[in-house]
Amino acid sequence: MDPALPPESELRRRSATRLLVGLLVALLLRAALAPAFQPRRDLAPPAPLVVDLGEDPAWRLRLLPGVGPARARALLEDRRLHGAPTSSEELLRVPGFGPARVEGLRAATEVRVRLGGRPLTALPEGLER
């Protein structure tokens, strides 16, 4: 301890030194641990959600893009009246499922849309979007 410094100044100097050492340690730790918290790029992407329009309940149908409570109910009602749809053409009879909606479901990348266990196929040529 320097006898020329008053005790209060010495305490400030020690506090500042401890603060600087603490910041330095924190920066070094962050630099050392940063790679551990980076996302892994070598992992496969998660599997897409699989929703079957012919079998799944309303809550799963609502996971589809553009399908809310009303369209889910319409699909369930159509399944009750006509059975499960087996083709993309049969989806067109469901209120709220026009050619653009059916094509959008087929093209969804984060969801695999299925009909009766088979992938939803493209609409036949000639149907306007």
pLDDT at 120 > cutoff 60: yes
List pLDDT tens digits, range 24-80.
998 888 877 776 666 667 667 666 778 888 888 999 889 888 889 999 999 999 999
Classified as helix, coil or strand, 114 is: strand
pLDDT of residue 77: 94
pLDDT at 89 > cutoff 80: yes
Classified as helix, coil or strand, 68 is: coil
**How much is the pTM?**
0.54
pLDDT at 129 > cutoff 50: no
State the DSSP code for 98.
-
pLDDT at 10 > cutoff 90: no
